[in-house]
Amino acid sequence: MNGKPMNWHQRTVECPYPAALQDEYRKGTLLRQWYERYREGHLLFYEEMKNSDILPYSAPVKDAFGFNELFVGIKYLDAGYEALCHYRNEAREKAKELLGGDAAVKKIITNFESYPQPPDLLVFCPKTNRFRFVECKRKSEKFTKRQEEFFPEVENYLNKNRPPCERALADPSREDLFPPLLADQWIHIVRLVPDNVKK
């Protein structure tokens, strides 16, 4: 990358969702349903979520925190892929395996409370361990200045320190989930568009 613009528009897909879902999520009911449905065998959801201050299992969720990444993450689970979001316990260990060790996790992931944060999701194929990062944004949400600086750093690091899979995950039959990436790219963007927003 080295100073070149990231050209996010070339690797962005839109993801529509019913606008009413966010209200249900804020109440805590939708998160509870997702947890019950997807916790078994999926690292996107984890046991500590039930008592977490970050994503409370049985209480209102302030400002719909976590909705974007969990809603998008479920799309990948339903398509047969896996996704990591909160890198604790087994999820952190899986991230080490995918990225190629502790040094890569420290450089890219660090820990959940750290800054800058990695892209929202680490999506991978459980059969091959090929992966890519996915940043989830609302339709008109902008990148922070630190994201604009850090995301190229992530891709530079992965290109200089190739992970075991060697290249990013792709699925040409599902370009709605996996827009094409160039050989040196590891991140794409999903824009969430509520159904009450006109195009």
Nearest in space to 162 (alpha carbons), one of 79, 98, 85, 86:
98
pLDDT digit string (tens) for 41-83? 899 987 766 666 556 555 677 778 889 999 999 999 999 999 9
pLDDT at 199: 53
- Distance, in Å, from the CA atom of 58 to the CA atom of 33, rounded to the nearest integer, reads 10
pLDDT digit string (tens) for 19-46? 899 888 888 888 888 988 998 889 998 7
pLDDT at 61: 72
Residue 10 CB partners (closer than 8 Å, separation 6+): none
Contact 193, 17 (CB under 8 A): yes
The domain limits of the chain are 8-194
pLDDT digit string (tens) for 139-185? 989 998 888 889 999 999 999 999 999 999 999 999 999 999 999 99
* Residue 2 banded pLDDT, cuts 50, 70, 90: very low
Mean pLDDT of the chain: 87
Q: What is the DSSP letter of 52?
A: -
